[in-house]
Structure 1
Amino acid sequence: MGVVEFELARVVHAPIGDVFDRLADIEGHSDWMPKRGSIHRTSKKTSPGPVGVGTTYVDRTSVGSMPGDVVEFERPTRLVYHWWDRSKGGRLKAEGWPGYRLEAKGDHTTIVHHHARVETHGLHHLATPVYSWLARRERTATVEALQASFHPHD
């Protein structure tokens, strides 16, 4: 197995609850995620009810569809998603845990601590450097798009 793990931090000029709600709105991700420089195309919630631990979703990306679920949900400070990618035969190729820890700095400023972990399985561990590059690029684009979504004219 190969493992990629890293953290990013960004300041978002918005209240912590607003930032959390934007991150937790699975189907709303398409509204603010980057249109260029990202593999993300759309996200769709696949389970009923409000988003919380156990909520399922599917991300459609330029490299295929990836199902996932919410594994941590502590409004307004902690949110962790889990996604996985399987071969056509059902073998696990890779899985990831993009997570967010939010810290309020005053009424209108939030520090977003983004932690990402990716594990490659089986022969896909040989592709760990590619997954590392792609994950860093994708996760950086995501937090920068989140930040920009609260400042569309900056």
Structure 2
Amino acid sequence: MGVIEFELTRTVAARIDAVFARLADIEGYNEWMPGKGSMLRRTTQTSPGAPAVGTTFLDDTSFGPTPGEIAEFQPPHTLVYHWWDKTKAGKLKLEGWPAYRLEDAGDETTLVHHHAEVRTYGMYRLATPFLRRIAMKERSATLVALAASFEPRGPAVG
């Protein structure tokens, strides 16, 4: 097994409860994630109800469909997703845990500690260094888009 693990931190100009709600809203990612610079094309919640531990989703990515679930849910401080990719025979190729630990930074700002862990299995271990670069780019794009989603938008021009 290969392991990729890193942490990114970003300050977001919004209250902690608003940041947590945005990160927990699975289909809301479709509104604020960038169309370019991310491998995520669309995400869909596949189980009914409000987000909670066990809520399932399907990410449509540039690498294909990737199922997942919420693994940890403790508003407004901790949110951990778990996703996986399997071979046609059902063996794990990759799995990951994007985790968010939120800290109230005062003045209606939130410090987002984003811990990412990806594990590679079988022959996919050989791709671990390449996948590390992809994971860092994707997780960075997510944090930039999250912060930008709270920035005021100017009037439409046209």
Q: Same fold (TM over 0.5)?
A: yes
The one-character-per-residue Cα deviations of 1:61-102 (angstroms, maximum 9, x if unpaired) are 111000000000000000000000111222110000000000
Distance 1:73 1:138 in 2: 22
Alignment of 1:76-91 (within 5 A): 76-91=76-91
Aligned to 2:41: 41
Distance 1:45 1:56 in 2: 6
Aligned to 2:97: 97
Which amino acid is the alignment partner of residue 61 of structure 1? T
Aligned to 2:72: 72
Aligned to 1:109: 109
Which amino acid is the alignment partner of residue 112 of structure 2? V
Distance 1:49 1:107 in 2: 32
Provide the alpha-carbon RMSD of the alignment: 1.1
Q: Runs of 4+ in structure 1 displaced over 2 angstroms? A: none
Distance 1:148 1:93 in 2: 33
**How far apart are 1:153 and its partner, in Å?**
4.2
Tell whether 2:62 aligns with 1:62: yes
Aligned to 2:151: 151
Tell whether 2:15 aligns with 1:15: yes
TM-score (norm: length of structure 2): 0.95
Structure 2, unaligned stretches of length 5 or more?
none
Distance 1:78 1:70 in 2: 11
**How far apart are 1:131 and its partner, in Å?**
1.0
The one-character-per-residue Cα deviations of 1:29-88 (angstroms, maximum 9, x if unpaired) are 010011111100111011111100000000001110000000000000000000001112
Distance 2:32 2:109 in 1: 19
Distance 1:10 1:86 in 2: 32
TM-score (norm: length of structure 1): 0.97
1:122–1:146: structure 2 CA closer, same or farther, 3 Å change rule?
same
